[in-house]
Amino acid sequence: MGKRGPYQKHTPEFRKMALERMAECNNISDLAKELGVHSRLLYRWRDQQVAKAAAGPLAPGLREMRLRNENAKLKKALAEKTLEVDFFKGALQKIEARRQQKDTSGAKASTTKSGN
Q: Where along the chain do its domains lie?
A: 3-56
C-alpha 99/C-alpha 112 separation (Å) is 12
Pairwise pLDDT comparison (3 vs 61), residue with the higher score: 61
CATH number of 3-56: 1.10.10
- Structure pTM? 0.43
Enumerate residues 6+ apart whose C-beta is below 8 A from 8: 1
32-39 contact pairs (CB < 8 A, 24+): 37/10
- In this prediction, residue 5 has a pLDDT band, given cuts at 50, 70 and 90, of very low
Q: Does the pLDDT value for residue 49 go beyond 90?
A: no
Q: What is the pLDDT of residue 102?
A: 84
The model's confidence at residue 1, banded by pLDDT at 50, 70 and 90, is: very low
Is a pLDDT exceeding 90 seen at residue 93? Answer: yes
The fraction of the chain above a pLDDT of 90, given in percent, is 47
